[in-house]
Structures are given as structure tokens and as C-alpha cells.
């Protein structure tokens, strides 16, 4: 990727949510895509978890930013281990036909296909298979502790989480892919969950690096994701790409806690 224009944006949870708010405050005329990664750990709470915000801000480590998103679902632990995508579509876009669950189908299939191209046996899980998943009811507070239709699993373990938020102006679809193994203890500390929950989250999730047994170049995966999104959504996808790469992709295993 040397010399190439990066399609990744280095961000913080709050800055990411501010960008999303700006996109949906006006009518969405054309699709827009942003791909994100994070230099430091952070926690993004689902909209139904707003009551946990003061608690999390007090309990989290000083360098762990806490934010609230407008989409539903459980808490997400962001950090260098995650590649996120935000897709903003006009409300009448063809990929939104069929309702909430159907809107996830193409997004999960897209991610699963790219991961299979990397050599990972990934699978976008259909609704009828959810009863056989490794999601655990006691972990419903965490996004990666449960499974929803068309999220991506490897051997039943979650690798890609999905969420969406619908407004009259447009629709946001988001994804988060585990590139390296997260430090789940940080998430449990922020939400004052027992240490056993961190071990359970580790058991029901799997990162790309752990699935392959080698480090994953996040810039290369981001480029493939951007190109595939553009092919599916249409070349009208716009992304305010930085003029130069904002960070050097990690070339070694998952970051230290």
C-alpha cells in the first residue's frame, strides 16, 4: 500500500458519531462510505444504554473514550483491533428494500465474501440458524456477545457485528470487523461487568488474525472493502479520503492491552 491514498480514517468514537450525525441531519442524496480505525481504546454504547453513560465515563481508564451512538444494540469496544464501516444511504435506495432484517443481508454477505477471499471460513448467519449460534444471553449487553441475522461468524464465533439507524433523511448501516483480538477486559471494566464476562466474550468471538494465524494488513482489507462497497452500492459512493495515509498499518499481532 506504499504511496497509495488511504481510504481509512483514524478516528475516536465521538468524532465518528459526530460525522454520522452530520450525514443524517440533511437529506441523503447519494451514498456515502467511511471506513474507520481507532488509535486508542473506546466504548460506544447503544442508544438504549444511555443510562450507563455516566457510570462508564467514571469506570473506564483515562485513555478510553466513551460515546453514545444513535443505532441500537449493545456496547462496542473500539480500538486498533477494529475496522469499522459507516454506510449512509438515501431512504429509497434499492439495498434497503425488504425491511430491517433484509437490509443486513447484502452487508453481511459482502463481509463474509471478502473474508473468505482472505482464507477465512466466514459465514453470514441467516435468521434460521441463530438458535444454533454461540451467542450467549448473559452477554446481551455487549454487541459481540450476541448474534443478529446476517452477522458474520467463523465456526459459530462472531467476527463482524452489524447495526443500523433509520431516519427520514436517510439510513445508516454500520459494521465492525475484529482484525486483532480485543482486550475485552477494558469493556468489562468500563461497564463494571465481572471478569468472567471478558472470558466469555473471548470465547464467543474470533479475530481475523487469530483465524489466519498471521497478522492482517488493515489497509489492504480496507481497500478491498471500499472497492467492493463501491461495486455493490454504485460508483456514486463518496468518501472524503485523506490526502495521505494517516497512520502506519500494524504489521505484528494484536496490540498490547
Average pLDDT over residues 22-37: 95
- Residue 1 falls within a domain, yes or no? no
pLDDT of residue 112: 98
Q: Is 14 in contact with 40 (CB distance < 8 Å)?
A: no
pLDDT of residue 135: 55
- Residue 156 falls within a domain, yes or no? yes
pLDDT band at 11 (very low <50, low <70, confident <90, very high): very high
pLDDT in tens, 93-139: 999 988 889 999 999 999 999 999 999 999 999 998 886 655 566 89
Range of the domain at 66: 8-233
Judge whether residue 257 has pLDDT over 80. Answer: no
The mean predicted confidence, pLDDT, of the chain is 87
- Residue 245 falls within a domain, yes or no? no
pLDDT of residue 136: 67
- Residue 244 falls within a domain, yes or no? no
- Residue 247 falls within a domain, yes or no? no
- Residue 119 falls within a domain, yes or no? yes
pLDDT-wise least confident of 1-10, 32-41, 199-208: 1-10
- Residue 253 falls within a domain, yes or no? no
pLDDT of residue 173: 95
Proportion of the chain above pLDDT 90, given as a percent: 77
Proportion of the chain above pLDDT 70, given as a percent: 86
Predicted model pTM: 0.88
Q: What is the CATH number of the domain that holds 79?
A: 3.30.930.10
pLDDT of residue 7: 86
pLDDT of residue 251: 31
How far from 121 is each of 155, 157, 158, 212, 221, CA to CA, in Å? 8, 11, 12, 10, 16
Residues 6+ apart with CB under 8 A from 87: 31, 32, 33, 107, 172, 173, 174, 229, 233
Would you say the C-alpha torsion 99, 44, 212, 34 has a positive or negative sign?
Answer: positive
pLDDT in tens, 236-247: 566 655 443 333
Alpha carbons 75 and 69: distance in angstroms, whole number: 9
- Residue 42 falls within a domain, yes or no? yes
* HEC letters along 71-99: CCCCEEEECCCEEEEEEEECCCCHHHCCC
Judge whether residue 80 has pLDDT over 90. Answer: yes
Tally of domains in the chain: 1
Amino acid at each position: 500500500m506504499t504511496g497509495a491514498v488511504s481510504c481509512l480514517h483514524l478516528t475516536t468514537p465521538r468524532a465518528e458519531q459526530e460525522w454520522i450525525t452530520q450525514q443524517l441531519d440533511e437529506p441523503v442524496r447519494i451514498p456515502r462510505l467511511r471506513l474507520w480505525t481507532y488509535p486508542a481504546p473506546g466504548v460506544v454504547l447503544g442508544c438504549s444504554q444511555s443510562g450507563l453513560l455516566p457510570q462508564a465515563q467514571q469506570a473506564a481508564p483515562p485513555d478510553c473514550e466513551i460515546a453514545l451512538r444513535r443505532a441500537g444494540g449493545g456496547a462496542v469496544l473500539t480500538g486498533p483491533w477494529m475496522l469499522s464501516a459507516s454506510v449512509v444511504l438515501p431512504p429509497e435506495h434499492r439495498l434497503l428494500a425488504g425491511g430491517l432484517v433484509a437490509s443486513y443481508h447484502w452487508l453481511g454477505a459482502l463481509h463474509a465474501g471478502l473474508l473468505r477471499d482472505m482464507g477465512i471460513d466466514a459465514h453470514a448467519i441467516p435468521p434460521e440458524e441463530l438458535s444454533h449460534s454461540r451467542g450467549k444471553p448473559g452477554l446481551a449487553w455487549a454487541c459481540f456477545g450476541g448474534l443478529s441475522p446476517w452477522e458474520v461468524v467463523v465456526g459459530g464465533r462472531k467476527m463482524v457485528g452489524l447495526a443500523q439507524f433509520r431516519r427520514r433523511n436517510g439510513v445508516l448501516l454500520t459494521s465492525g470487523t475484529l482484525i486483532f483480538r480485543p482486550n475485552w477486559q477494558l469493556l468489562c471494566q468500563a461497564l463494571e461487568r465481572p471478569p468472567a464476562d471478558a472470558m466469555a466474550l473471548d470465547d464467543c468471538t474470533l479475530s481475523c488474525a487469530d483465524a489466519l494465524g498471521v497478522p492482517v494488513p488493515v489497509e489492504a482489507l480496507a481497500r478491498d472493502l471500499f472497492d467492493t462497497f463501491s461495486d455493490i452500492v454504485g460508483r456514486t459512493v463518496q468518501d472524503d479520503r485523506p490526502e495521505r495515509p494517516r497512520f502506519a498499518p500494524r504489521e505484528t499481532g494484536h496490540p498490547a492491552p
